[in-house]
């Protein structure tokens, strides 16, 4: 994807996720600059299906359909329904390796546990994100080889050239019930 397509996709996610009130940002104490963010989306299966339209770039449509399919995995294969999708976790490169991504994920998990969600779902594409989720006891529900994934509308292997570790995306799930039980004992 081009930089413009990525920015357009991020803008779309932000417009959908931020009003739900379960997204968090990290800010520099001195400059008040946003340096990290994690978006959360709930009620995934109630969202309207993506329509083929001329306004949405085809690569974005591919990503949207991929995410729709990923969102079905916990419900269909594992019977999990009370989930929240941590759609994007991003930290500015100037602030990377400072624990900001880990802290955002921990705070989001705690917020969701407080709100009564039982699972936090993430699609992991990097070693850093995998390490963060391992610290939180996240379990891999499915490892998807992007070379073999076929778009639901076109049937094409649209991500066969994606540059991911092992060409896979891991669908990870954090069980928030553990956090809820720890908090209830306190």
pLDDT at residue 45, rounded to an integer: 42
Q: Which H or E run includes 88?
A: strand 83-91
The mean per-residue pLDDT over the stretch 19-40 comes to 86
Could you read off the pLDDT of 83-138 as tens digits, one per residue? 777 767 888 999 999 999 999 999 988 988 888 888 888 888 888 888 888 888 89
Instruction: Name the one residue in this structure whose structure tokens are 């400072």.
Output: 98
For residues 185 and 19, what is the distance between their CA atoms, to the nearest angstrom? Answer: 32
- Pairing assessment for the beta strands 83-91 and 168-175 based on DSSP bridges: unpaired
Question: Which domains can be identified in the chain, with CATH numbers?
Answer: 3-185 (3.40.630.30)
Cross-sheet strand order for the sheet of 139-145: 24-27, 34-42, 83-91, 119-124, 168-175, 139-145
């Amino acid at each position: 994807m081009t930089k413009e397509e990525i920015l357009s996709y991020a803008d779309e996610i932000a417009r959908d996720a931020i009003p739900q009130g379960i997204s968090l940002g990290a800010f520099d104490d001195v400059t008040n600059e946003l340096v990290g963010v994690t978006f959360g989306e709930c009620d995934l299966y109630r969202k309207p299906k993506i329509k083929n339209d001329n306004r949405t770039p085809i690569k974005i449509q591919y990503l949207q359909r991929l995410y729709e399919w990923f969102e079905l995995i916990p419900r269909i294969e594992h019977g999990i329904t009370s989930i929240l999708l941590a759609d994007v976790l991003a930290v500015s490169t100037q602030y990377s390796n400072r624990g900001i991504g880990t802290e955002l994920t921990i705070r989001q998990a705690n917020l969701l546990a407080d709100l009564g969600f039982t699972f936090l779902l993430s699609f992991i594409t990097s070693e850093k994100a995998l390490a963060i989720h391992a610290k939180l006891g996240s379990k891999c529900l499915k490892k998807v080889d992007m070379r073999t994934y076929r778009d639901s509308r076109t049937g094409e292997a649209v991500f066969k050239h994606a540059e991911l570790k092992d060409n896979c995306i891991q669908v990870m799930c954090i069980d928030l019930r553990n956090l809820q039980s720890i908090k209830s004992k306190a």
